[in-house]
Copies of this chain bind each other. A is one copy, B any other.
């Protein structure tokens, strides 16, 4: 693999061997996928969102199926940053693939503490999940308000020397505005999109299908929305963009790349086929071969719109 074409790409100072990553929260801490694919083939591994303290997550039911999609409300269950660094990170790092730590907090300080704790731990970058309510500021998500997102990123920027990827929420008025705000604040890259708030009802019981009533929609249903947001953000900012949302195969991944993404993350698809990342990578190589494109980076933002 990668013999004839150059798949490498730079993201905020990280050099990735190829542009295919797992998406946070859909590959655990890597080990669960290991029996199904060679993790060393990945461009990077993005682990489940980490908080300062371990979190038990939401009560079940936590997941429900909808047309071409999945609504989840896992509630950010995780083992906490300490246990991650101690128990999971060492073996992950042995793979020789950049490990990206997805983090979230309830206020700016928590994000900063997390970012500081991970500095020097061995992770290659941190991804800020800003789709979390700012408990200190009335509970509106950081990711919905450009000013809040800006301030958050600026503080985290000061707290860590690691590359910062800010993961944008689709739940905004204007994704360009958001992308510009976090770029201005010093993020090294942007990933988008996180899940879209959604809801399903069991009409026979007249009850919500999830214990938390509202959850996050992922899967192919959201892909056309995500591709549009990548395309819009690509017009607005210079920092690299990582595309996420409903990628099921190479052609989906290529939609994101052609729209402006320099890398992709794959989430829900790994639930259906735990080896899907490898297939996507292979499909991208085949596509490049077929089209005579030698360097992956030449594909980024190559949409013709005349």
Contacts and interface: CB of A to CB of B under 8 A. Distances in A.
Interface of A: 66-69, 71, 140, 144-145, 171-174, 196-201, 203, 205-208, 213-214, 217, 219-225, 227-228, 231, 246, 251, 254-255, 258-259, 287, 302-305
A290 to B, nearest CB: 9
27 contacts: A66-B220, A66-B223, A67-B220, A67-B221, A67-B223, A68-B220, A69-B221, A172-B173, A173-B173, A198-B225, A198-B228, A199-B224, A199-B227, A199-B228, A199-B231, A200-B227, A200-B255, A201-B227, A201-B254, A201-B255, A201-B259, A206-B258, A206-B302, A208-B303, A213-B231, A214-B231, A221-B221
Contact of A199 (B219, B220, B259): B259
A221 to B, nearest CB: 4
A196 B290 CA distance: 34
A246 B221 CA distance: 11
Nearest to A228: B199
A71 B223 CA distance: 12
Nearest to A201: B255
A203 B246 contact: no
A220 to B, nearest CB: 4
A217 B198 CA distance: 15
Contacts of A251: 203
A222 to B, nearest CB: 8
Nearest to A197: B228
A212 to B, nearest CB: 10
Q: List the 8 closest pairs (A to B, CB-CB), nearest first.
A: A198-B224, A67-B220, A68-B68, A67-B68, A199-B228, A221-B221, A203-B254, A201-B255
Which of A205, A217, A225, A255 is most buried by chain B, counting CB atoms within 10 A of its CB? A225
B227 A198 contact: yes
Contacts of A227: 198-201
A219 B208 CA distance: 21
A172 B174 CA distance: 8
Nearest to A302: B206
Nearest to A255: B201
Nearest to A178: B173
A132 to B, nearest CB: 15
A174 B144 contact: yes
Contacts of A302: 206
Contacts of A217: 224-225
A102 B1 CA distance: 55
Contacts of A231: 199, 213-214
Contacts of A304: 205-207
A128 to B, nearest CB: 19
A157 to B, nearest CB: 24
Contacts of A196: 225
Given A68-B69, A69-B221, 8 more contacts: A67-B246, A68-B68, A171-B173, A200-B255, A201-B254, A207-B304, A214-B228, A217-B224
